[in-house]
Amino acid sequence: MPGSLTSRLPLSRSAIDRDYLARSRPGLLDELRGDPTTRAVLLSRGHALLESATPPRLALRRLAEVPGGVLLVYLGRALGEPDPGAPVVAVVLDDAGAEQLQPDRVLWGDLRHIGAELDALDAGLFTQALAITNWHASHGFSPRTGEPTLPAQGGWVRHPDGHTEEASGQHVFPRTDPAVIVGVTDPQDRLLLGANALWGGERYSILAGFVEPGESLEAAVLREIREESGLTVVDPMYVGSQPWPFPASIMIGFRARVDPAHGTEPVPDGAEILDLRWFSREELADGRRTIGIPSRASIARAIIEQWFGGPLDAP
């Protein structure tokens, strides 16, 4: 029986106290601006400023030294070294501010590429900062009224201008889109991998899809696999979860078995999935693999390696 992967997933790690109760404190952001210990995760075009690219490490600058950003969000307080208890904020910079701070784009890191190499503090901060600021970028207007919205409560709520009271019922809260991702095996214990149309057919991964309204996670597993491969699976088993802020998902990992009574030959849907194949461990072993596989930052990679029985050498 596979155990939970969550504690080993790169983007599920964290070393920060989110300090939820402080968000509603009046004047919180002004207080943080005046606190010389406040550190800032700096974001530009979905990338974070790095202190160094090799190995990657976030540049946690003093907030007082940062040029004015277009958005400020309180992330919480750091746990452990190097600054235990220090408050940390996310700051989104416009292009001019980012250019002024660091013109070399090599030092602006992409979470997909560097997430597995970051320590727990940096991985947790970057993932949290990217997820919440992506939400702000897509909720400049109220979905209820169409009015422009403003950030409040340390950046964890938006409300239409003039509707600042909780009792007004006009608050807009962050949303996360749940998606299931499934490692499917056949009676020979081979793993099903597919080539997504967006990847050009060169990289293969396990199948995934969003949970629909009014649907359980297990029902989503059965439906998504059926839709994308034509296969019927049984015994979906949860193995772990990982935030995936591209832009706003949480990936909920499962293993499942194909039901041979309904056939074992996968048929790609031809739209989202271009090709589907069963792979043995020998075919995916280092030195024998002929396809690309997901990056180390993804839960897809972790589920593949859990089935394989150890790490694979692809980056």
Q: Assess whether pLDDT exceeds 90 at residue 67.
A: no
Q: Residue 68 — very low, low, confident or very high, per pLDDT cuts 50/70/90?
A: confident
For residues 273 and 167, the model is more confident at 273
Indicate the residue type of 296. Answer: R
Q: Residue 108 — very low, low, confident or very high, per pLDDT cuts 50/70/90?
A: very high
pLDDT of res. 162: 65
Q: Assess whether pLDDT exceeds 90 at residue 86.
A: yes
Instruction: Give me the phi and psi of 258, to 5 degrees please.
Output: -70, 145
Q: What is the pLDDT of residues 10-51, one digit of tens each?
A: 999 999 999 999 999 999 999 999 999 999 999 999 999 999
Whether 239 contacts 2, CB under 8 Å: yes
Tell which residue, 189, 188, 177, 185, has the closest CA to residue 225. 185
Q: Residue 63 — very low, low, confident or very high, per pLDDT cuts 50/70/90?
A: very high
Q: Residue 198 — very low, low, confident or very high, per pLDDT cuts 50/70/90?
A: confident
Q: Residue 7 — very low, low, confident or very high, per pLDDT cuts 50/70/90?
A: confident
DSSP-derived secondary structure letter, 33: H
Q: Residue 241 — very low, low, confident or very high, per pLDDT cuts 50/70/90?
A: very high
Instruction: Give me the phi and psi of 96, to 5 degrees please.
Output: -65, -40
Q: Assess whether pLDDT exceeds 80 at residue 200.
A: no
Of 53-57, 120-124, 167-171, minimum mean pLDDT range: 167-171
Q: What is the pLDDT of residues 135-186, one digit of tens each?
A: 999 999 998 889 999 999 999 999 987 665 554 567 899 999 999 999 999 9
pLDDT of res. 164: 59
Whether 266 contacts 229, CB under 8 Å: yes
**Cβ count near 55 (within 10 Å):** 11
Q: Assess whether pLDDT exceeds 90 at residue 250.
A: yes
Indicate the residue type of 164. Answer: T
Peptide bond into 82 cis (omega under 30): yes
For residues 222 and 287, the model is more confident at 222
pLDDT of res. 145: 85
Q: Residue 1 — very low, low, confident or very high, per pLDDT cuts 50/70/90?
A: very low
Give me the chain's average pLDDT, please: 93
pLDDT of res. 201: 75
Domains in the chain with CATH codes: 6-138 (no CATH), 177-308 (3.90.79.10)
Whether 17 contacts 77, CB under 8 Å: yes
Torsion over CA: 293, 299, 304, 305 (sign): positive
Whether 207 contacts 226, CB under 8 Å: no
Q: Assess whether pLDDT exceeds 70 at residue 2.
A: no
